[in-house]
Structure 1
Amino acid sequence: EALEKFSIVKTLQAIEAANVVLLVLDAHQGVVDQDLHLAGLIIESGRAVVIAVNKWDGLEKQEREWVATNIERRLPFLSFAKTHFISALHGSGVGLLLKSVKTAYGSALAKIPTPQLTRVLEEAVADHQPPLVNGRRIKYRYAHLGGKNPPRIIIHGNQTEATPNSYRRYLENYFRTALKLQGTPVMIEFKTSDNPFRERKKPAENPQEKRKRIIASRVKKK
């Protein structure tokens, strides 16, 4: 038990220290419980990830189809990650694997300007409007980058805290596709703030100043 805890701690440390995590699966076993646990830790850390399915060359066509389906079924939360079928022994597919690692690294640390994020947000809302809350439509005003590795997009607007999870996932996928972010999760955070264009209540006028203004107005009329 002590050895298992030590192994988990070392795994967590390795994930936190990495910019891109390479999740290696055994093609002969498919996705086992240990793989699921590791994948969960990767998601919690927010790290970019690339999936490598090793020993692929030793499988028949039917077995390969089963493995591909098994990965899609058991790791749907890693659908943003690129999957490579490789043979470490013979080196096949390794070149493309390293290319995906580089792409994921670039996506995780991408510098995205506020105007671009706001434009993508406007396009996402135009394609699919957010739901109504108490008869009022949730309104998003602008978006900016709040952090990297993973990209953390902060969306400002009215009633944003009422955004349902389904619409949050829609925005995550929309931003990832529009910005061509590959291999990295995209975090969306909402900030609700007052409408800056809302008419503000004017401060009460001083009685003496009010009398002077009325008198001055009457003098002008004469």
Structure 2
Amino acid sequence: MRKYTLLLGVVACLLMSRVGRAQGFPSYSPPPMNISQMNMNHMYYGNNRNPNYRKGEGSYQLPDGSWHKSQKLVFDGQKLVVKDADADKLKLDFEAWRQLEVQRDTFLVMSNLPGRAQAADKPELVHSLLNQHGVRVLELCADYGKARYFVSRPQVPLQLLPSGKADFKTAMLAIVRDSPILAQEVSSGKLGRNDVVQIMQEYVDFLKRPGAARN
């Protein structure tokens, strides 16, 4: 009996000593990972693409005013690449051209957009959503807040449409006031800021009618 008691005591001592040694080991914590800065566009859209990505036949305008057609243009929202088989591959930052027409879309590079306290450091890219009979609706690209819309009309400078619901209604009513039906839809809230292209399209249709009043 004493042998068994002694043996159990030895085993207990060995177990306690192992536990003690294990508790004495420093715990391992992996070093923090150094994650480099990533382009947010890549995270959101993948494959280096963003909502302004276009590919296909089109034409582009250089700062000197000249237009150049291409069978294969690739625009990733930041760079324009001309990939025609019979010409050298050309890469242009969007500040190196003035207008781009591809896949029935038109992008413009503009400076001094209205609504700013001071001019931007570099020209900005805008998407033409509507361009008919001298009336144009533009949307600022790569602006990760609320969409910013601009409207131009014949003999009227480009204007920034307000983002607030009430201010937008006031500004839009000043434009479409000559069309009673359209003014009523805007005034009642049936058509709002998210319908800016539809509003201006209907306004253009109104202006094309014989005898329509104009602002």
- TM-score past 0.5 threshold: no
Shorter chain as normaliser: what TM range?
A: under 0.3
Structure that is richer in strand per residue: 2
- TM-score of the pair, normalised by structure 1: 0.27
- TM-score of the pair, normalised by structure 2: 0.28
Higher RCO (C-alpha under 8 Å, 6+ residues apart): 1
Structure that is richer in helix per residue: 1
